[in-house]
A = this chain, B = another copy of it.
Amino acid sequence: MSSVEILGFIAGALTTCAFVPQVYKTYKTKSAKDVSMPMFVIFACGTISWVIYGIMSAKPPIYVSNVIIFILAAFQIALKIKYDAKKEKPV
């Protein structure tokens, strides 16, 4: 593996891992009021495009990391829908 590819995997690992604390925080606090839904929806669409781009340009760090980011973003969207709906219920 070339040093450029290693750097790509480090970059991919960082941008992928970044989503874990957000998903964890939302899960623990059961609140995602301040989290922007459009952000995660647009980002998820972006990751799909990056996966296709990564495959077409034969860059494993790009498509591998973006597949995982897509899953994490989808999970964040699901949590936000769940907790925002709960907050709207009358107490």
Which residues in A have some Cβ–Cβ distance to B below 8 Å?
4, 7-8, 10-22, 24-26, 29, 31-40, 42-43, 45-47, 49-50, 52-53, 56-57, 59, 61-62
Contact = CB atoms under 8 A, between A and B. Distances in A.
A15 B47 contact: yes
Label chain A's interface by main secondary structure: helix
B4 A53 contact: yes
Given A34-B26, A35-B22, A49 B17 contact: no
Contacts of A8: 50, 53, 57
A11 B15 CA distance: 15
Contacts of A24: 36
A25 to B, nearest CB: 4
